[in-house]
Structure 1
Amino acid sequence: MSHSHHRYFVPPIMGIPYEYIEEDLSNKSSLLLKYNPVHQKIPVLVHNGKSIPESLVILEYIDETWRNSLVLLPQDPSERSMAQFWAKFIDEKILITARKVSFTTGKEQEQTIEELSEHLKLLENELKGKPYFSGEAIGYLDIVVANFLVFWFRNLQEALGINMFTEEKFSIIFEWIEKLVKINVFEECRIPKE
């Protein structure tokens, strides 16, 4: 894939102007190399001439910088820590296991899918009894989960011909996805299947 469409949707209440620059990872721009010389990856947020790389770090920076305009992370320290814990769980457990599915076959792939299914069930339990992962309104954890499950994993599953993330198995998460799909800004930021 020559172009990477790595984009986070954010609630429309933000109202913060920004410029979105598409990056061709097969031919990395001088801007990317300048602003993320360590990993040379996207996404990178550039604000006031300073670069902030990595998705989770960017979301936390946005929360801290524009706290008067929006609140992504909970104010309560223990709730905030738990949101960060689950985001890390997605980044370090779920995402790595999902990527492993792409590179395995046969029995090893079956075991990896089973492991991924268990991880997703743990995540789904966090949503039980709440309209959103972040509580009554969309927040930090909803953005992290949506980016993985809706923008990336569903497309990957379809591309690989795997049918493990289904409404029958994960009804609570699918109900949450239905709520998100009705939000215009969410639809605008979907990654094209191609």
Structure 2
Amino acid sequence: MAEVKLYGSWSSPFSYRIEVALKLKGVEYEFIDEDVHNKKSPLLLKYNLVHKKVPVLVHNDKPICESLVILEYIDETWEGPSIWPGDPYERATARLWAKFFDEKCVHAMWKVCWSKGEEQEKLKKECTELLKILESTLSGKKFFRTGETIGMVDVTGNFVAYWFGILQELAGLQVFTKEKFPNENLPPEDKLAAHFQARFRAVAASK
């Protein structure tokens, strides 16, 4: 039986997307929860020499780094529901949306929660425009690919649905709400909320 280990962090949306993919494929794995804010394990540093960050998937002692690369590896290695589209055009489109989430959404939505004043107002407008793009693309569908089947874009977009909803509430923002964006879901995550609340307190105490 193949040995699969995932070096990640329970609070990381990038780790979470790998867990979703493994569960969709029915792959058994061991999760190693890394303390990414204090002391990373020697094995994580060994497996990810370039970026030294989570997630890292180790399959039969071979490490694969970077979440999008890992997702593609999982889809090609194990049988089960397809994560990436088979059609070349749809696959290219999925890659484009994945880059949109990672390079546009995650950056702006994370930064707006920790900024103040004029910078925050500018970022709020940017986040609202990004969310409008997502809302128009979903157009009443439950999932991006077909509306009924979870796929690559949904897996990579978990930051918006889970993490940003909680972060903005703790930061006292009203960017992403059900009233403004009814096609999006904001499921409660008490543990995640407590985690980020502690980080907000730590930042406030350091000033």
Q: Same fold by TM (over 0.5)?
A: yes
Return the offset for 1:4: 3.8
Conservation of the 8 A alpha-carbon contact between 2:108 and 2:126:
yes
Cα distance in 1, alignment partners of residues 127 and 60 from structure 2 = 39
Residue equivalent to 2:55: 43
SS of 1:51's partner is: strand
SS of 1:154's partner is: helix
Conservation of the 8 A alpha-carbon contact between 2:140 and 2:183:
no
Match of 2:71 among 34, 53, 59: 59
Q: Which runs of 5+ in 1 are unaligned?
A: 182-186
Q: Which runs of 5+ in 2 are unaligned?
A: 1-7, 195-207
Return the offset for 1:79: 0.7
Greater RCO between the two (CA within 8 Å, min separation 6)? 1
Q: Please, what TM-score do these two structures have when normalized by structure 2?
A: 0.78
Q: Please, what TM-score do these two structures have when normalized by structure 1?
A: 0.83
Cα separation, partners in 2 of 1:11 and 1:18, compared to 1, 3 Å? closer
Give the root-mean-square deviation of aligned CA atoms. Answer: 2.2
- Superposed, 1:1-194 pairs within 5 Å as 4-5=9-10, 6=12, 7-8=16-17, 9-10=20-21, 12-25=23-36, 26-66=38-78, 68-135=79-146, 136-146=148-158, 148-174=159-185, 192-194=192-194
SS of 1:193's partner is: helix
Q: Deviations over 1:51-97 (max 9, x none)?
A: 1112222111111112x322001111111111110110110011111
Cα distance in 2, alignment partners of residues 191 and 141 from structure 1 = 25
Conservation of the 8 A alpha-carbon contact between 2:113 and 2:171:
yes
Q: Deviations over 1:87-122 (max 9, x none)?
A: 101100111111221342112211111111101111
User: Where has structure 1 moved over 4 Å in runs of 4 or more?
Assistant: none
Cα distance in 2, alignment partners of residues 191 and 63 from structure 1 = 29
Cα separation, partners in 2 of 1:15 and 1:144, compared to 1, 3 Å? same
Identity of matched residues, %:
47
Cα distance in 2, alignment partners of residues 58 and 11 from structure 1 = 10
